[in-house]
Structure 1
């Protein structure tokens, strides 16, 4: 029997060495060497004691997942060496759909799979508005890159240009891989907020492993790295190529969203446009129907919204903060927000004009009093929700949790 326990201990020690748990072995040996360890195994459950020692020497990590972390984990469909990743197709679904495609498990990737991804990734010179659709499942996107890509969809291009130029130390319009990773992290950190200490991680949340959130301690070159810096990650990224990438990504997502409603036609209906505006909001069913019914009852000229008008409007939304400031100046000057005033404010912020029909359609949606003027507070609040697609729409709208969420949202707005 004693020999059986010796063999058992040897197997346990071997397993710990494989897993790198040398600190636990050192603690046990310091207590009294192998003999003490044998007695411990004989008298009680060894693994319970190991867990107790771990808890005594290092308290368990306690974190709360942010909405973005939760969403990334839900949509990420592949796993490499314990790190979860999105595919390009996962990313598109995460910004366009409420829920991921049902799956039994994540696909486990090996070195061969990474080599195939590397070989399939086109260079930046071949970037297009179909890049993510053409790559499909053949690519990996890390959590940091996920946040960075969201920033591209929601922030004006000027901020990225400034950051790019800051790290272009020799002013040649190019940055290398390491400099880009710094720029990427700057925009990713905008999304990160301090987590509250509430509960231990569950098995489903094991990916929050260290101070970098979902990032493990090892790093792997991803699809974006190969696309920007070549197969060997040794070329520089040109600012003009990066601007084209941003423009193409924005257009690709908008094309998918537009095509969902256009059904192959050149335009979408004004009602469908309103549905797209309202789809990522806190509105309850009754409030949602109020806006749709208002449009259907009061819009006389229905000629549809073209993709060009659709794209111009969402480019304007990326400058919503500047637009809000301009609108406040109108209010302070005691000017009502008419369609003409709205157009002026948009032009001040973006240098572009929206079509008269699109602006009129919006005014009908947000003309609460029927006086031909914009209810700007409603408009700004709803457009902020719409701009942050995917993070404010799929929430519980009932009960105490919804009340707390609403209060928190208002407090953050006032801060």
Structure 2
């Protein structure tokens, strides 16, 4: 009963705050939102709300008793939680993603429905690894061709997320951080430094950057048996004796980026050579912190202002995605406008893109971007807001996923509002 009283008192104390913040109104609250409130306040699955003359009465909460001496649970990071959501196979007590799981984790908001994880036997894993192609057979369809015939560990998942956000200029830096002895090749032992670094570093927005910074300083003891994965077989061969040169590393990173970009494009192109400007806006606003109302407003602006659809080709879309990987350099170029508190025109935007990437974006692409974010229609863009939103998009469900702000009141409040609007 102590747990029940604690939950009751907590909800009573939250009620005036929620009302003041505008989350609660005199209208009936959707049941899904109430369940979220229950979960956030430590209750289990049950809240019943009653209304009388337009006023909400104190809720009745059912909560289970917890053990007083129950040890505190270890904090699970948002990336680990997302990995667990999408990982569909298990082997020897460890959870793994398939290549298909990984692709879905960076292109979809939620995993496909399934009942539990598939438990693999030793012969299943051996068969998968035998089908893994060598580096010489690598392509921008590697993950799609492997589909569910492969395994990816959690630390490799983090590594692959890093690959997706690296600009081409960062490929060499990433390779050199793995190359701990500086001989311009990476062997299996050096690659396994990843296991030690990613498992020990704290999680944060720029966590991967700090993890990569210390790669050259951490040499793990790799004499113990480590389970081979599809990535290790692809890089170092069946017996782990092959080595990775920079050209191989560069090609793998470029192929993976191209594969994910192409996968997103094909989702909306439906076999055509172009996607519409509205489709482009939908892709761009994925995984951002904008709520549903704001996203709907952005999409409506594109529909209203671009009356004649011209379409965006795959090459134009790919260029824009490559530009997003250079956002840090772009933000430096934009700082002069920020300091002067000046909005940015389309020509100035294009010039900054060319300075930091060496190429220009298609005019239709830039025009669509401006229609998405130019709320007052003055033909200018607020670069800090654009950069912030695009950083969420760049990290594809990692940086801006709701789990990233666990325990954050503002994120919880926004989540409740979104759920209420969707009902």
TM-score class normalised by the smaller sequence: 0.7 to 0.9
State the alpha-carbon separation in 2 of the partners of residues 185 and 243 from structure 1. 23
Q: Which residue of 1 aligns with 2:164?
A: 153
Structure 1's 237 and 406: CA in aligned 2 closer, same or farther, altered over 3 A?
Answer: farther
Q: In the alignment, which of 136, 158, 163 is matched to residue 125 of structure 1?
A: 136
1:386 is aligned to 2:393? yes
Q: Could you give the per-residue CA deviations for residues 284-340 of structure 1, whole angstroms, max 9, x where no partner exists?
A: 222111111111111255210111010110111111122112111233356541111
1:299 is aligned to 2:306? yes
User: Normalised by the size of structure 2, how large is the TM-score?
Assistant: 0.71
State the alpha-carbon separation in 2 of the partners of residues 108 and 130 from structure 1. 26
Q: Could you give the per-residue CA deviations for residues 196-226 of structure 1, whole angstroms, max 9, x where no partner exists?
A: xxxxxxxxxxxxxxxxxxxxx9630110000
Structure 1's 324 and 382: CA in aligned 2 closer, same or farther, altered over 3 A?
Answer: same
Q: Which residue of 2 aligns with 1:174?
A: 185
Q: C-alpha displacement at 1:127, in angstroms?
A: 0.5
Structure 1's 267 and 134: CA in aligned 2 closer, same or farther, altered over 3 A?
Answer: same
Structure 1's 147 and 188: CA in aligned 2 closer, same or farther, altered over 3 A?
Answer: farther
- Consecutive unaligned residues in structure 1, runs of 5 or more: 1-50, 195-216, 408-415
1:273 is aligned to 2:280? yes
Q: In the alignment, which of 363, 369, 393 is matched to residue 370 of structure 2?
A: 363
Q: Could you give the per-residue CA deviations for residues 209-254 of structure 1, whole angstroms, max 9, x where no partner exists?
A: xxxxxxxx96301100000001111110111111111111111111
Q: Could you give the per-residue CA deviations for residues 354-388 of structure 1, whole angstroms, max 9, x where no partner exists?
A: 11221111112111221111122331221121112
SS at structure 2 position matched to 1:276: helix
SS at structure 1 position matched to 2:140: coil
State the alpha-carbon separation in 2 of the partners of residues 95 and 296 from structure 1. 27
Q: Could you give the per-residue CA deviations for residues 156-207 of structure 1, whole angstroms, max 9, x where no partner exists?
A: 243342132245466553211111233576678778249xxxxxxxxxxxxx
Q: In the alignment, which of 90, 95, 102 is matched to residue 101 of structure 2?
A: 90
Q: Which residue of 1 aligns with 2:44?
A: none
Q: In the alignment, which of 122, 127, 139 is matched to residue 116 of structure 1?
A: 127
Contact 1:368 / 1:375 at 8 angstroms: preserved in 2?
A: no
Greater mean deviation of Cα atoms: 249-258 or 166-175? 166-175
Q: Could you give the per-residue CA deviations for residues 85-123 of structure 1, whole angstroms, max 9, x where no partner exists?
A: 001011111111122122222111222122112210000
Q: C-alpha displacement at 1:404, in angstroms?
A: 5.1
Greater mean deviation of Cα atoms: 349-358 or 234-243? 349-358
SS at structure 2 position matched to 1:264: coil
Q: Which residue of 2 aligns with 1:289?
A: 296
User: Which protein is bigger by CA-based radius of gyration?
Assistant: 1
1:165 is aligned to 2:176? yes
- Consecutive unaligned residues in structure 2, runs of 5 or more: 1-66, 206-223, 415-423
Q: C-alpha displacement at 1:392, in angstroms?
A: 5.5
Q: Which residue of 2 aligns with 1:372?
A: 379
Q: Which residue of 2 aligns with 1:227?
A: 234
More helix by share: 1
Q: CA RMSD in A?
A: 2.8
Contact 2:155 / 2:198 at 8 angstroms: preserved in 1?
A: no
State the alpha-carbon separation in 1 of the partners of residues 413 and 173 from structure 2. 34
Contact 1:94 / 1:100 at 8 angstroms: preserved in 2?
A: yes
SS at structure 2 position matched to 1:251: helix
Contact 2:78 / 2:401 at 8 angstroms: preserved in 1?
A: no
SS at structure 2 position matched to 1:228: helix
Q: How does 1:316-395 map to 2 (within 5 A)?
A: 316-333=323-340, 336-391=343-398, 395=402
State the alpha-carbon separation in 2 of the partners of residues 391 and 164 from structure 1. 23
SS at structure 2 position matched to 1:321: helix
Structure 1's 86 and 363: CA in aligned 2 closer, same or farther, altered over 3 A?
Answer: same
Q: Which residue of 1 aligns with 2:80?
A: 69
Q: Which residue of 2 aligns with 1:262?
A: 269
Greater mean deviation of Cα atoms: 82-91 or 360-369? 360-369
User: Normalised by the size of structure 1, how large is the TM-score?
Assistant: 0.72
Contact 1:164 / 1:183 at 8 angstroms: preserved in 2?
A: no
State the alpha-carbon separation in 2 of the partners of residues 137 and 286 from structure 1. 37
Q: Could you give the per-residue CA deviations for residues 238-288 of structure 1, whole angstroms, max 9, x where no partner exists?
A: 111111111111111111111111010000000000011112112222211
State the alpha-carbon separation in 2 of the partners of residues 327 and 223 from structure 1. 41
SS at structure 2 position matched to 1:64: coil
State the alpha-carbon separation in 2 of the partners of residues 236 and 390 from structure 1. 32
